[in-house]
Amino acid sequence: MRITVKQQVLLAPATVLILLILLLAFMQYTYWDLSRKRQETKNLGTTFVALAEADMAARRLHLLLRTMQHTGMAPPEDMALVSDLYERLLDAIGRLKPFGSLKGSGQISQLLTLAESLNPTDSPEIEKTAESFARFRAELSALSNMTQIHRNKLRMNHEQDINQLVERAAVVSMSVLILAILLGLFISVYFSRRILNRVQLLSHNAVRIADGKLELPPAPDRIRDELDTLAVSINRMTKRLIQVVGTEKLLEGAEEERRRIAMDLHDQSLSDLSAILRGLRNLSAELSDHKAQAKTESLKLDLERAIVNLRDIMNNLHPQTLDILGLGAAIEAHLEQHCDSEGLPEYHLYIDPSINALNLSRIKQLTLYRIVIEAIQNVIKHAAASRYEVNLEVRKTTLILSVEDNGSGMGEEKESNNGRGLHNIRERARAINATVNWKTSRFSSGTRFELTLPCEA
């Protein structure tokens, strides 16, 4: 089951919260049970008072009815009192609350029926009146005794129940609180240590990679949470970094080999050719035969062209201007030597003066130089342009290199056909952590090549 880091962090407080909610529910149930028992005690008290009032009203009513039946006289005030006593009697019986065994027994309904038979407006006979009152009071007395017994029993049970409820509530509350604290601590410690160990491992791998120790960190077998996703991302980033560093080292090695070959050509081949040229010049001065002199001059011209070509090869292998004067001067020198002639497109060069303030390593300068030369050659060979611009500028801490022409443009077919030159540009840019793209030129037609390289001043 996949549990995210957010869920792992929230699991401990969520568990404690659930336990506290259950404790609150238990306390609410305990309070409800206690309230129910208190209400039952209150109903018993109300019933006991109502029975006492009914008994008192029945006695007075019976006494008045017997007096009126013996005297045969019924003053208005006595009749009003009789009616009032009868209403009190019915009201008292109506306030009776069923409890215990009375619930569903029908005794209260039977008592109400007996009370209705005592209605003074029916003018019953003395014998029937005495009999009705005797039955009513007997039933009332039985209910009163039952109520008193149940009330006493409930009072005793109520005290015991309160003690038990308080004791149980205290035990359960302490138990749940202790369980919540221990469980919350266990879950939080378990998951926090687990997350912390994994974060420390990821941090250790990241620091090791930042220090240049490009050892591939282990990747989890399956993704369980965000930390596993981060570990997989670090693993993939390290793989790509190893590839980039490998490409960079390969390019650096190639550039170093170019430099060594250029030095060997300069120290050996160029020196030998220069010595041969000096010998031909000395020989030409000593010869008196015009034909031999002409042949010697022709050989000197061929040898001078070979020396110039060899110098061009050496400069292409490793431009000395780049080491001596820097990137901008090397680009300018290349354009003046190879691109400033008839039949070639007109060019405009802009070099930002702040380019020298950038902290560019030798391999980055060489790579940028190679990319500029390749981009210019693409314009000359394929763009069919009459003008192009080469810009090297700095925006804050970002170097922007652009080559823009007014030619025919790349087009979808040419853009999809990634030639060797474009592939070389992409690989070289990737080796120095630069990004390249080709888009529509600002001229009416043509292509704009742009390279972006983040760097520190």
Domain shared by 23 and 127, yes or no:
yes
Identify whether residues 414 and 343 lie together within a single domain: yes
In sequence order, what are the beta bridge partners of 435?
A: 452
Yes or no: say if 214 and 242 are a contact pair by the CB < 8 Å rule: yes
Same domain, 96 and 58: yes
269: nearest Cα among 300, 298, 306: 306
350 in a structural domain: yes
Cα dihedral sign for 328, 329, 334, 340? Answer: positive
When pLDDT is averaged across residues 91-97 and rounded to a whole number, the result is 78
Q: Report d(CA 286, CA 280) in Å as an integer.
A: 10
Residues 307 and 386 in one domain: no
Q: Looking at residue 391, what is its pLDDT?
A: 94
Q: 54 and 180: one domain?
A: yes
**Are 139 and 93 contacting, i.e. CB atoms less than 8 angstroms apart?**
no
**Are both 71 and 177 inside the same structural domain?**
yes
End-of-domain residue from the set 118, 153, 187: 187
Run of H or E residues at 206: helix 126-210
What value, to the nearest 5°, has the Cα angle with vertex 245 and ends 238 and 378? 120
pTM over 0.85: no
Any domain includes 369: yes
Is 345 or 206 the better-scoring residue by pLDDT? 345
Between 211-215, 336-340, 396-400, the lowest mean confidence (pLDDT) is in 211-215
> Rounded to an integer, what distance in angstroms lies between the CA atom of residue 11 and that of residue 190?
11
**392 has pLDDT over 90:** yes
Domain limit, last residue, from 155, 187, 219: 187
Do both 257 and 292 map to the same domain?
yes
Q: Are residues 285 and 172 in the same domain?
A: no
- Among the residue ranges 245-259, 326-340, 442-456, the one predicted with the least confidence is 245-259
Looking at the domain assignment, is residue 407 inside a domain? Answer: yes
CATH number of the domain residue 380 falls in: 3.30.565.10
Compute CA 185 distance to the chain's CA centroid, rounded to the nearest angstrom.
25
Q: Is residue 216 part of a domain?
A: no
Q: pLDDT confidence of 413, banded at 50, 70, 90?
A: very low
**Is the domain of 126 the same as that of 250?**
no
- The reply to whether 222 falls in a domain is no
Q: Tell me what pLDDT residue 127 has.
A: 62
Same-domain check for residues 127 and 13: yes
pLDDT band at 351 (very low <50, low <70, confident <90, very high): very high
User: What is the Cα–Cα distance from 115 to 85, expressed in whole angstroms?
Assistant: 12
Q: What is the mean pLDDT of the chain?
A: 79
Same domain for 381 and 402: yes
pLDDT of 417 strictly over 50: no
Alpha-carbon dihedral sign for residues 240, 400, 457, 249: positive
Residue 9 has, within 13 A of its CA and on its CB side, a CA count of 8
Asked whether residue 252 is domain-assigned, the answer is yes
Residue whose C-alpha is closest to residue 339's, from 389, 395, 281: 389
The CATH number of the domain where 14 resides is what?
1.20.1330
Count of the separate structural domains present in the chain: 3
Question: Can you give the residue range of the structural domain that contains 57?
Answer: 5-187
Taking only the tens place, the pLDDT of each residue in 143-169 is 777 777 777 776 766 666 677 777 888
Residues 53 and 156 in one domain: yes
User: With pLDDT > 70 as the criterion, what percentage of the chain qualifies?
Assistant: 85
